[in-house]
Structure 1
Amino acid sequence: MKGVLFDFNGTLIDDTKKHEDAWQTFITNVTGNPISQSDFAKYFHGKNAQHTLEYVFKRPLTFQEVADYAEKKEALYRNLCLADPNYALLKGVPEFLTLLQEKEIPFTIATASGKTNLDFYFETLNLKRWFTMEKVVYDDGNMISKPDPDPYLKGAQRLNLPATECVVFEDAPAGLLSAYHATAAKIVAVATSEKIETLTKFPGVTLAIKDFTDPALTNLINQFT
């Protein structure tokens, strides 16, 4: 193993509830119909904006419609983040990222978030300490949504590595399947919104953690060459 690919939302930051609340507000305002928890898992978590919004509106959307609707929802989400005094990276993440840097293990992010949110994270969470925007894979309007392997295959390419030499950290079922289809070397499930026993049933998952203070990560780091 030579590199690491991180999902972002629900993996490096525990923000799933904020996304759900923002979606509920947005969708209730435009359709009058709230979203069920099962629909969140199936159509929202880990999916890009086009996939989710076309499910919401039950029709194909233009590029501009997706961009406009997504920004309305994401503005609600960002306000929830800023209003939360505990808005921060998941416990242990800063130390783990710094350790990867010290050991010169390459890593980046492959996320369904759009550029506006990514800029927000870089500013409010000071991600530039560890990441460069040029290497991050994000939804630019053309992303093929997880569970397709494309996001993680592109992430590996940004590291100049095959996916078979990368470890993937992911929280959402769609993302776990994306990593599996990309034939990642190992898949680490992060249990921020799902139970550990649920995540370990997904194909390819070799480890499940609640946060990045898990001592099992020390053994994982020692497996890098």
Structure 2
Amino acid sequence: MINTIIFDFNGTMFFDGRIQKESWGEFLKEEFTRIMTESEFEKHVAGRNNRDTLEYYSGRKISDEELEVLTNKKEQIYRDMCLSRPKEFHLVDGLTDFLSVCLKNGIKLNIATASERPNVEFFFKHLDLEKWFDVESVSLNDGTLPGKPAPDMFLRAIENIDSSPYNSAIFEDSVSGIQAANSANVGKVILVEDPDLDVVNMPSNLRADEAIQNYFRVSETLMKRK
């Protein structure tokens, strides 16, 4: 029986694919004079932590100090874009009701995200996430865990709320995130698709038990382990 749900955030709870692409594109052009391709976004940006992405584009290892400077610069561009687009900056349709139903039925909730703490606090502040989640339990990019496709961030999110992979469902939108969910050996893996973006080219060897584009009709089977 599924009694725990773990969400990736970006692209799963908030459809920010266009904002992510535009903010990364603007940053990479300014910082590295690089033009990001769609293939690079899927392989080296979506679902990845900033160190992985920045070392790919710089072509070298970067220090912790440089990582902090570059990350702050990129994420400020991203946050400014979010606030300038209120019609886009909101939780996915149907999600708030779904989260409330989960809590009413005793389903544990948590987030596992490649975002750093400043972005997580930004989301909590502007999207009222404290109604459903404890920010101190969130598994985020604090530099202590490998990024996706390693399963560690999901496993920490599950452990932080005293649950187990067997009883957990993971909601993800990226290839690297689905890989991580598969490696975590959780009970359910749900692919969330942004209807305004191209369908993600998901490898056939990865398991996704269901695909959704909103949370209005999330089936009851998500609460049950097949």
Counting only pairs closer than 5 Å after superposition, residues 174-213 of structure 1 correspond to structure 2 as 174-192=176-194, 193-195=197-199, 198-199=201-202, 201=204, 203-213=206-216
Structure 1 residue aligned with 2:35: 34
Structure 2 residue aligned with 1:171: 173
Counting only pairs closer than 5 Å after superposition, residues 42-61 of structure 1 correspond to structure 2 as 42-61=43-62
What SS class does the counterpart of residue 167 from structure 1 fall into? strand
Structure 2 residue aligned with 1:160: 162
What SS class does the counterpart of residue 107 from structure 1 fall into? strand
Between 154-163 and 6-15, the greater mean CA deviation after superposition: 154-163
- Aligned in 2, Cα 1:175/1:152: closer, same or farther, shift over 3 Å? same
Counting only pairs closer than 5 Å after superposition, residues 20-169 of structure 1 correspond to structure 2 as 20-86=21-87, 87-169=89-171
Contact 1:63 1:141 in 2 (8 A): no
Higher strand share: 1
Contact 2:188 2:222 in 1 (8 A): no
Contact 2:170 2:190 in 1 (8 A): yes
Q: Could you tell me how far 1:43 is from its partner in structure 2?
A: 0.3
TM-score by length of 2: 0.93
Q: Could you tell me how far 1:167 is from its partner in structure 2?
A: 0.3
Mapped partners of 1:123, 1:58: distance in 2: 35
Contact 1:5 1:169 in 2 (8 A): yes
- Aligned in 2, Cα 1:202/1:81: closer, same or farther, shift over 3 Å? farther
Contact 2:173 2:193 in 1 (8 A): yes
Kindly provide the amino acid, as one letter, of the partner of residue 207 in structure 1: E
Q: What is the total number of aligned residue pairs between the two structures?
A: 221
Kindly provide the amino acid, as one letter, of the partner of residue 131 in structure 2: R
Structure 1 unaligned blocks of 5 or more = none
Q: Could you tell me how far 1:220 is from its partner in structure 2?
A: 2.2
Kindly provide the amino acid, as one letter, of the partner of residue 219 in structure 1: T
Contact 2:190 2:212 in 1 (8 A): yes
Mapped partners of 1:125, 1:104: distance in 2: 22
Structure 2 unaligned blocks of 5 or more = none
Question: Deviation digits for residues 161-186 of structure 1, max 9, x if unmatched?
Answer: 22121000000000000000000111
Mapped partners of 1:218, 1:94: distance in 2: 17
What SS class does the counterpart of residue 209 from structure 2 fall into? strand
TM-score by length of 1: 0.94
Structure 2 residue aligned with 1:217: 219
Q: Which consecutive segments of 4 or more residues in structure 1 shift more than 4 A?
A: none
Q: Could you tell me how far 1:141 is from its partner in structure 2?
A: 2.1
Mapped partners of 1:117, 1:139: distance in 2: 10
Kindly provide the amino acid, as one letter, of the partner of residue 203 in structure 1: L
Identity of aligned residues (%): 29
Q: Could you tell me how far 1:201 is from its partner in structure 2?
A: 3.8
